[in-house]
Amino acid sequence: MRYLLSVFLVVGLLGLWGGAVRVEAQNLELVKPGELSAATEGTYPPFSMVDANGNLQGLEIGVIKEVSKRLKLEYKPVLMKWESILVGLFADQYDLSTAAMDITAERQKQILFSNGWLESGGKLVVRKDSPIQKVSDIKGKVVGCLVASTWAKIAEGLGAKEVKLYKAESDALQDLANKNIDGVVTEAIAAGYAIQNTKLPVRALDEYLSRIQKGLAFKKNKVNLVKAVNKALDDMHKDGTYARITKELVGFDPYPKEPIKSIFSQ
């Protein structure tokens, strides 16, 4: 009798555990089981772009591929135009958007963000041989910025003697390398990517002029999926995988020191 009870108890527990595993898998709230589908633009380097062989690559692509691998899911990219990404997300055309989206209070009302996966913002770029070591050193000097950008106002606030506007940031960086201006105010990730790829004799100061974090975007009902993605991102940061993926493209590790946390509805 004791033997039979023991058998029934073990079978019952196995059934409960097996059920728990199945429920957990279902609770990832995937559009298609076993697959992590993610919207991306494919036209926004260095976050998402197509190489000469037609392969998707970039910061967000490398990161989400690794996340998918850790969750034992097949990564499926879905190319979308920026203005249609949230429409497709709300229509369950894919599980999330990896497109480089700033975490803002207004957006948090509409969507559920992962923890901040990347920090960006304004930075000052100077020549490698420049005596400028901190942002305050640019006061009274000539600074270049992209026309119709927010960087011009920031440059003026730094006390620049003159703010020179450019149609392309590549032109501003070239002018900086040629010693026609003293610095360029631009976005940190764009600066890092340009420095890595152009090999111009320029460097970005460590100090940020402004800060923003980017998050992966989900529908608000994808709570378990977001929690799983958050854990994968945290593990990638701790074991150095995130730094390896990002440094190759932009020359530094942009993981936030204090990631903005997901806001789960009560």
- Structure token digits, residue 100: 């480089």
Say whether pLDDT at 113 is over 70. yes
Distance (Å, rounded) from C-alpha 195 to C-alpha 191?
Answer: 6
CA distances from 225 to 64, 142, 152, 256 (A): 13, 48, 40, 21
Distance (Å, rounded) from C-alpha 190 to C-alpha 184?
Answer: 12
Task: Tell me the per-residue pLDDT of 53-80, one tens digit each, with 9 for 90 and over.
Answer: 999 999 999 999 999 999 999 999 999 9
| Domains and their CATH numbers in the chain | 31-119+214-250 (3.40.190.10), 122-208 (3.40.190.10)
Residue 10: the pLDDT is 39
Whether the Cβ atoms of residue 233 and residue 262 lie closer than 8 Å to each other: no
What is the percent of the chain with per-residue pLDDT over 70, rounded to a whole number? 90
Beta strands in 17-167 (DSSP E): 35-40, 43-44, 48-50, 56-57, 74-79, 96-102, 112-113, 118-120, 122-127, 142-146, 162-166
Q: Please report which helix (H) or strand (E) contains residue 186, including its range.
A: strand 183-187
Say whether pLDDT at 199 is over 80. yes
CA distances from 174 to 141, 168, 183 (A): 17, 10, 11
Say whether pLDDT at 13 is over 60. no
Whether the Cβ atoms of residue 118 and residue 256 lie closer than 8 Å to each other: yes
- Structure token digits, residue 222: 């994808």
Say whether pLDDT at 24 is over 70. no
Say whether pLDDT at 17 is over 90. no
**Per-residue confidence band for 11, with pLDDT thresholds at 50, 70 and 90:** very low
